[in-house]
Homo-oligomer: A and B are copies of this chain.
Amino acid sequence: MVRNNIIGFTNSGKSDKKIFSWNPTSGLKNSEEGFAVANDEEIEEALNLAKSAFSELSGMSSILRAEFLEEIGNQIILLGDHLITTVVSETGLPDGRVIGERGRTVNQLKMFASVVREGLWTEASIDEAIPDRQPNPKSDIRKKLIPIGPVVVFTASNFPLAFSTAGGDAASALAAGNPVIVKAHEAHPATNALVAEAIQRAASICGMPNGTFSTLYGNGNEIGEKLVSHKEVKAVGFTGSFSGGKALFHIANSRPDPIPVFAEMSSVNPVVVFPEILSTESSQIAAKLANSITLGSGQFCTNPGLILIVEDRDTEEFINLLGQKISESSVSPMLTKGILNNYREGIKRIKNSDKVRTVALVEGFENGTPAIFEVDADDFINDNHLAEEVFGPSSLIVRCQDTQVLKSVIEKLDGQLTGTCFGTKGELIGNEDVLQILQSKVGRVIINDVPTGVEVCDSMIHGGPFPATTDIRFTSVGSDAIKRFARPICYQDFPDSLLPLELQNRNPLNIIRKVNGELTRSSLVKLSVSGS
């Protein structure tokens, strides 16, 4: 049986073109049946269905959406070991990691369900009328966030569950009340099929409108352009390469009606190491960094790809320690042949630079062999290519003579997801200007810990200045991610019964609202001014 595109509640495989996934560990094709790619007719169907689902969803209670999100989580758990073995066969990731990622995915769905129930995310705000205000009466004015419209989600190679079919982008877009069309990742189509069917079942159980969720298979560039330029699509979520994200961003902005693209792309996540802390914690920091660099074969967007060291007497020892740890670390397969080839080429490029010295590298580097290089600050500053992301378990140490040079190196960097500082309290306080410059380049600043491990919580920002993402104003991880797929609307002098529940006088959802400038759960005792 060919696993098909899912278009609302029907499955469809009209094209003879197929895609197949490969087992990164064995190098073999996972199955001979493959997945039929979506043709133009199927794309049209999915988008038209999404349009009509959107208008139905707008009239539904937010409670039902919360239940739907939780049911997706239940259905994913019900997939049991079959999901885990499928992911492992398509990604080469170890069991434990995949089980952990499933947990994170289910927890994210639960988190967005509670965000939806809490209702604070809608930013409901009411300014009551003042009919006798001089010189002009004041109208009754209310606002809240509403869903933006059908959202296309491009899934990530490196998070087959948490940033994929039912991952953060899809979950937050659904939570806000939008239909979602997931473009399945070429590297893990069978994983996509299992999760998509789980979502389809949850949608059916919870009575979601047909077209609330669809998933389409296809070649990234071709289907990507068709989806992002389609008039019914109102926003895009993407996690992947700089070239892919940038291409979608430009397609979206060239539409007659440009739409927002939330692309998380490229980041080398600079780590600053001040000298004093190395006198006591050299070995711990080297171990932490080595672990962070090699975790999951370095295939994390927050992987520390650049280590900026202010030179002092412990520098050599620290670099040696780090090199040693890296040499001792185990080798694991990379997600796809494409990623492995890119990693090899990236490593080759750095290794072949005149100015760069190799600290640790297993010759031959089959699979995702960990590597550490070093370069002097001046040479780094003069070679733009050295600041480019090498996706995988390698890191480049930049040796800075002093903090002035360190600041020049940071100034030169592009936008990043994260920036990290290791230092004693005295070093941190004495170098507040370094932290300030670092902050201007990133979305998250970390003190004395590694950037990998992105906590899913209210205060998380997983984003940053271009080219880390295409929109510095939003996060793709944490509860605020829901705000990407919403837009505000204002209701002036509406009859109470025509207002959405969040803005009705009696506050039927019992949410916190801003009423005449004060945050409160209170209902408004008087009737609305008009329409009563």
* Chain A interface residues toward B at CB < 8 A: 55, 58-59, 120, 125-127, 136, 138-139, 141-143, 146, 148-149, 249-250, 253, 257-258, 260, 414-415, 425, 428-429, 432, 435-436, 439-440, 442-449, 453, 455, 457-461, 463, 465-467, 470-475, 480, 486-495, 497-498, 512, 514, 517, 519, 530-531
Contact = CB atoms under 8 A, between A and B. Distances in A.
A258 B470 contact: yes
Contact of A425 (B440, B444, B495): B495
B428 A472 contact: no
The quantity of this chain's copies bound in the complex is 2
Contacts of A465: 257
A435 B488 CA distance: 16
Given A436-B55, A473-B488, A445 B494 contact: yes
B531 A488 contact: no
A455 B141 contact: yes
Given A139-B449, A148-B472, A517 B458 contact: yes
Given A257-B465, A425-B531, 12 more contacts: A59-B436, A120-B519, A127-B459, A136-B453, A138-B457, A139-B455, A249-B258, A253-B253, A429-B498, A445-B494, A449-B493, A461-B489
User: Which residue of A55, A138, A253, A470 has the most chain B CB atoms within 10 A of its CB atom?
Assistant: A253
Q: Which of A446, A470, A492 neighbours the largest number of chain B CB atoms within 10 Å of its CB?
A: A492
B498 A455 contact: no
15 contacts: A127-B459, A138-B455, A141-B459, A249-B258, A257-B466, A260-B471, A429-B495, A444-B491, A445-B494, A447-B492, A447-B531, A459-B514, A473-B487, A474-B488, A512-B519
Nearest to A258: B466
Contact of A449 (B425, B445, B492, B514): B492
A447 B125 contact: no
User: Interface centre among A126, A472, A486, by most B CB within 10 Å?
Assistant: A472
A146 B436 CA distance: 12
A432 to B, nearest CB: 7
Contact of A428 (B414, B440, B498): B498
Given A428-B498, A447-B494, A141 B472 contact: no
Contacts of A260: 471-473
A519 B425 CA distance: 30
B446 A492 contact: yes
A522 to B, nearest CB: 14
B489 A459 contact: no
Given A473-B488, A512-B519, A517-B458, A493 B257 contact: no
B493 A447 contact: yes
Contact of A459 (B126, B435, B457, B470): B126
Contacts of A141: 455, 457, 459-460
A444 B257 contact: no
Given A258-B470, A463-B488, A448 B143 contact: no
